[in-house]
Amino acid sequence: MVSLLFGTHSHQPVGNFDHVFEWAYNRSYRPFIDVLERFPNFRMTLHFTGPLMAWIHKHHPEFNERVRSIVERGQVEIVVSGFYEPVLWSIPHVDRVDQIKKAVDFVREHFGAEAFGLWLTERVWESDVVRSLIEAGVRYVLVDDFHFMCAGKSREELHGYYLTEYEGKTLAVFPIDQKLRYLIPFRPIHETMEYLTELKKYGDAAAIIFDDGEKFGVWPGTFEWVYDKGWLELFMKTITDTEWVNPTTYSEYMRSHRPLGRIYLPSASYFEMSEWSLPAERALEFGDFIHELEQRGLLERFRQFVRGGIWPGFLVKYEESNRMHKKMLYLSMLAREAGDGAALDAVHRAQCNDAYWHGVFGGLYLPHLRHAIYENLLDAEKRVAGEGIEVLDLDKDGFDEIVVRNSHLSVQMAPARGGAVVELSSFSHKYNLGDTLKRRFEHYHKGIKVAEKSSNGVASIHEIEKVVDQRTYRHLKYDWHERLNFIEHFLPPNAGINEFQDCSFRDMGDFTLGIYGFEVDGDVVRLHRKGVIRRDDSEEEAAITKTFWIDANKLRVDYSVRARGGLRLGVELNLALPSSDNAGTRFLVDGEFVGNPSQKVIHPSAFEIAIHDVNGMKVRVRASERFELWGVPIYTVSQSESGFDLTYQENSFLLIFALDGDSKDFAIEVEIS
């Protein structure tokens, strides 16, 4: 007898568009239950994340009643994760326990069931998570077979569950079968049945599959394959008609089967994550290594010894992710110290994993997901963080940051990052204008070609061809600095707006990436740096002092520049705007319309640029003297489940001031209203 432990994990992240929830509901979640109800003998396990469960409860309460009905008749078991689907490693222990218990309570209230199992988000396993799971009442957890192989097990030993422990308290761990993940639902059913037949030789074996519910209708080509062509219905019929296959739940299997032994798992996630989390150049080398092993027919033999990166590597690979993560940790601490439940729930929403990393899905590259993280962080910050100035190493890089808050704004400066403003947030809008993204080389950019896309049948998202259109290809540009605010460039004579947009000019100064000293004087923050300017073959000294303060909804920066004349100083601002480039946002220079976020803007002499957003936010950037203005949209090219996405990230503005003498003093003010 082969026990089929079949489960699906369905998720939509905090901040995703309502129409995406509705589309996924109609393409995957509802039709899946439509089929499942027709096969009462097909027993399985379901997982819906908190954001998805809450949305369904609000918009389709009848769906919850249908799920409750099949749970009550014993056909389905419900498992949980952290309610807002955090990577558990990435959040504090107390938040892990709270998030899991919140999910358990929701399942009990809405489905009338107790949940004892846990879907480990992105299967990110770190040993310190075991304590949290046990304390939250979890009895079993689902990870990948790769985790077990890294601990020395062979595939032949993975057709059941093992026990791990923390301080003598045990937790069952199930290995998800990678081969079944790739067979279901992409391949014809007979291939799955052939594999299940192979498992019969292990006696009373378990075939363990727990994977994304979106594979059943949302992934490219799967709706037609799974529903229109009847794959899912035929699969359930075949399984229930096969006498030697017993579809069952995980808890039921544990009641009738003893564990296979004891196990201690190393830090791991699923195999693909070990490539994605590496720096791009190392990811390329890792991919080449895997390909070479495949060519030699050695990969399956030695896969368990092939290790790439781990999930925390994303916090090194993407500074923008780390910045959100460390602010989240800080506010979690403040919310608990304040005993503010509403602030803590906002922090929990901000722990939703998707915007913190990037693999085959958009993740960090999707601005609306990052904006949702900041929206919730600012909600919490407004409640529990005091006004004034704080100096602390917030991003944990060994250098202090400076946070200035009043009732309107939260501004964070990083002296060690070019003296830049790395966060420029409005509490009233719950929005961070500094939520930008640097254009980076990603390992999957190698080999991209310009061609027309074509489709032949149903492919896994790991098999998408590397083709893009001409417009997308033109935007494959890379930045040599982060997209921050109030960073300075000494422009070479041949630099124009195109070089600025492509980030291809050679800065004559060393200020953009330089370390600034700082002092805090009352409600004023002063940053200063003595650097050099390279002119022809010589170097000459230069100095910049910039003084920051906030007043109501305005941030003012006073500049004092000391450098030999005949130069152009560009002050760069990068603003992540609330609306996309086709949503009606308007740019005005000195009161006259000049364009929108999708267009280049160039003006020879301006005092002010105003941004009028259709969502009600207005941003005005004023200077104390005239400047030449360059403005360009910034797009990224990122991998997604459907191929490659060209995504608007921010607008970059350069305010250019002529340095005619040996000194220059001016001020720039940003107002958010």
Compute the distance between CA of residue 572 and CA of residue 515 in angstroms, rounded to an integer: 17
Q: If phi over 0 gives left and psi between -120 and 50 gives alpha, with beta otherwise, what is residue 657?
A: beta
- Whether 85 contacts 47, CB under 8 Å: no
Which residues, in sequence order, are bridge partners of residue 46?
8, 78
- Whether 212 sits among the annotated catalytic residues: the reply is yes
User: Residue 642: pLDDT band by 50, 70, 90 thresholds?
Assistant: confident
Nearest residue to 628 (alpha-carbon basis) of 651, 599, 602, 594: 602
The H or E element containing residue 199 is helix 189-199
- Whether 91 contacts 326, CB under 8 Å: no
- Whether 303 contacts 372, CB under 8 Å: no
Task: Domain 2-266: state its class.
Answer: alpha beta
- Residues 537-575: pLDDT tens digits? 899 999 999 999 999 999 999 999 999 989 999 999 999
Q: Please report, rounded to a whole number, the percentage of residues in the chain having pLDDT higher than 70.
A: 97
User: Residue 454: pLDDT band by 50, 70, 90 thresholds?
Assistant: very low
Residue 460 is predicted with a pLDDT of: 46
Residue 562 is predicted with a pLDDT of: 97
- Residues 211-256: pLDDT tens digits? 999 999 999 899 999 999 999 999 999 999 999 999 999 999 999 9
* DSSP one-letter code for 187: S
Nearest residue to 272 (alpha-carbon basis) of 323, 212, 324: 212
Calculate mean pLDDT across residues 329-334: 98
Residue 407 is predicted with a pLDDT of: 97
Decide the pairing of beta strands 117-119 and 140-144: parallel
| Residue 307: C-alpha distances to residues 268, 273, 275, 299, 551 (Å) | 9, 10, 9, 12, 51
Residue 304 is predicted with a pLDDT of: 87
* Domain assignments of the chain as residue spans, ordered by start: 2-266, 270-309, 312-385, 386-436+474-672
Q: Is the per-residue pLDDT at 267 higher than 80?
A: yes
- Whether 20 contacts 12, CB under 8 Å: yes
Q: Coil, strand, or helix at residue 154?
A: coil
- Residues 338-370: pLDDT tens digits? 999 999 999 999 999 999 999 988 999 999 999
Q: Is the per-residue pLDDT at 490 higher than 70?
A: yes
Q: Coil, strand, or helix at residue 140?
A: strand
- Whether 525 contacts 518, CB under 8 Å: yes
- Whether 8 contacts 212, CB under 8 Å: yes
Q: Is the per-residue pLDDT at 461 higher than 50?
A: no
Q: Which two tokens stand for residue 631?
A: 């403005």
User: Residue 583: pLDDT band by 50, 70, 90 thresholds?
Assistant: low
The H or E element containing residue 285 is helix 280-295
User: Residue 466: pLDDT band by 50, 70, 90 thresholds?
Assistant: confident
Q: Please report, rounded to a whole number, the percentage of residues in the chain having pLDDT higher than 90.
A: 91
Calculate mean pLDDT across residues 444-473: 70
For the chain, give the mean pLDDT: 95
- Residues 91-133: pLDDT tens digits? 999 999 999 999 999 999 999 999 999 999 999 999 999 999 9
Q: Which of 122, 177, 345, 381 is catalytic?
A: 122
Residue 463 is predicted with a pLDDT of: 40
Compute the distance between CA of residue 164 and CA of residue 146 in angstroms, rounded to an integer: 16
In angstroms, the first-to-last Cα distance of the chain is: 67
Q: Is the per-residue pLDDT at 187 higher than 50?
A: yes
Residue 445 is predicted with a pLDDT of: 96
Identity (one letter) of the amino acid at 294? Answer: E
Compute the distance between CA of residue 632 and CA of residue 500 in angstroms, rounded to an integer: 8
493 upstream amide cis, omega within 30 of 0: no
Q: Which of 212, 272, 397, 465 is catalytic?
A: 212
Q: Which two tokens stand for residue 570?
A: 């560009």
Q: Is the per-residue pLDDT at 451 higher than 90?
A: no
- Residues 24-71: pLDDT tens digits? 999 999 999 999 999 999 999 999 999 999 999 999 999 999 999 999
Q: Which CATH architecture has domain 386-436+474-672?
A: Distorted Sandwich (2.70)
Residue 314 is predicted with a pLDDT of: 98
Q: Is the per-residue pLDDT at 458 higher than 50?
A: no
Compute the distance between CA of residue 326 and CA of residue 619 in angstroms, rounded to an integer: 27
- Whether 645 sits among the annotated catalytic residues: the reply is no
175 upstream amide cis, omega within 30 of 0: no
Q: Is the per-residue pLDDT at 383 higher than 60?
A: yes
Which residues, in sequence order, are bridge partners of residue 652?
574, 632
- Whether 10 contacts 213, CB under 8 Å: yes
- Whether 140 contacts 172, CB under 8 Å: yes
Compute the distance between CA of residue 328 and CA of residue 349 in angstroms, rounded to an integer: 10
Compute the distance between CA of residue 33 and CA of residue 50 in angstroms, rounded to an integer: 18
- Whether 362 contacts 647, CB under 8 Å: yes
Residue 672 is predicted with a pLDDT of: 97
- Whether 586 contacts 612, CB under 8 Å: yes
- Residues 293-331: pLDDT tens digits? 999 999 988 988 998 999 999 999 999 999 999 999 999
Compute the distance between CA of residue 66 and CA of residue 76 in angstroms, rounded to an integer: 11
Other beta carbons less than 10 A from residue 393's beta carbon: 12
Nearest residue to 436 (alpha-carbon basis) of 497, 486, 511: 486
Compute the distance between CA of residue 385 and CA of residue 332 in angstroms, rounded to an integer: 11
- Whether 573 contacts 656, CB under 8 Å: no
- Residues 408-443: pLDDT tens digits? 999 999 999 999 999 999 999 999 999 999 999 999
Q: Is the per-residue pLDDT at 459 higher than 60?
A: no
Residue 457 is predicted with a pLDDT of: 41
Q: Which two tokens stand for residue 438?
A: 């640097």
